Amino acid sequence: MNPYEAYMKEISQPMRDELTHAGFSELTTPEAVDEFISETKGTSLVVINSVCGCAAGLARPAARESLSNDKKPDHLVTVFAGQDGEATSRMRDYFEGYEPSSPSMAVLKDGQVLHFIPREEIEDFEVEEIVDNLTTAYNQYC
């Protein structure tokens, strides 16, 4: 690992921890993404994590806060854009019809996207608005 990669890994670890401590599993390889999509039944929340400010101040807090809803996804996973590039790219392959976006979130059922929140619906929104967006999807699909 070169010094830049080591630095970025160290810098991004707290950003990863913020989701994993909330119960999210990290998918760090394309194979892990494929296995998750093909074998996971039920509803899932997928968070495309990133180091940007809107991920830190909006997306991750909203994802965590949304989990206090009565209805919530059966599975919680995350891929990290810019860190786990191949895994992120593979996950985006499953988001057919949606432009790549970091951060972003998707509610899936049996591997199919039912609800997608791109960066444009995260950046410049309040955490509560993003939580409402997620919980509305949970109430409909979970």
Give CA 119 to chain center in angstroms.
11
Taking the mean position of all CA atoms in its chain, how far away is CA 74?
Answer: 14
| 78, β-bridge pairs | 26, 47
Q: How many CB atoms lie within 10 A of CB 122?
A: 24
Strand partners, 105: 47, 117
The residues assigned a catalytic role are: 52, 54
